[in-house]
Structure 1
C-alpha cells in the first residue's frame, strides 16, 4: 500500500509513502473536517490512498493570483 500525494491543480506527484500500516493521525488526517476528507482523500482499487494536495508551484501561483481560489482548476 502507498500513500500518494498529488497536486489537485497540475497533477504533479508531490510525494509517496510506502507503508504496510499507516497511522492516519500521524499524517494529520484527524485534523481534517469530514468535507475536507471527502475532497482530499481517495481510496484506489489497488489499496493505495491518493491525497489531493497543492504543490509549491501552484501554491505560489495562488498567492500571486488570489482570484484563482474561486476556480476548481486554474491550469488549462
Structure 2
C-alpha cells in the first residue's frame, strides 16, 4: 500500500509515500470525523490510499477569491 496526496482542486500530485515507509497508525486519520474521512480518503483496487487535500496555490486562490469555494476545480 502506497499513499498518494493530491490537490482536490487542481489535481496536482503533491506527494507519495511508498508502502515500506507508511504506517497508517502514524498518519492521524483517526482524528477525522466520518464525513471528513469519506470526503478526503479513498482506496484503490490495489490497496493504495489516496488523500485529497488543498495545495498552497489553490489555498491562496481561495483566500483571495472567496467566491471560488463552491467550485470543485478552481484552476483549469
TM-score normalised by the chain length of structure 2: 0.86
Give the CA deviation at 1:56. 1.0
For the aligned residue pairs, the C-alpha RMSD in angstroms reads 1.6
Q: Who is 1:40 aligned against?
A: 40
Name structure 2 gaps, 5 residues minimum.
none
Q: Indicate conservation of the 8 Å contact 1:24/1:30, yes or no.
A: no
Asked if 2 retains the 8 angstrom alpha-carbon contact of 1:42 and 1:49, the reply is: yes
What is the count of residue pairs matched by the alignment? 76
Q: How does 1:1-76 map to 2 (within 5 A)?
A: 1-20=1-20, 22-76=22-76
- The alignment's TM-score, normalised by the length of structure 1, stands at 0.86
* Greater displacement, 65-74 / 50-59: 65-74
Greater per-residue helix proportion: 2
Moved over 6 A (4+): none
The CA distance in 2 between the partners of 1:22 and 1:16, in whole Å, is 10
For 2:21 and 2:75, how far apart are their aligned partners in 1? 35
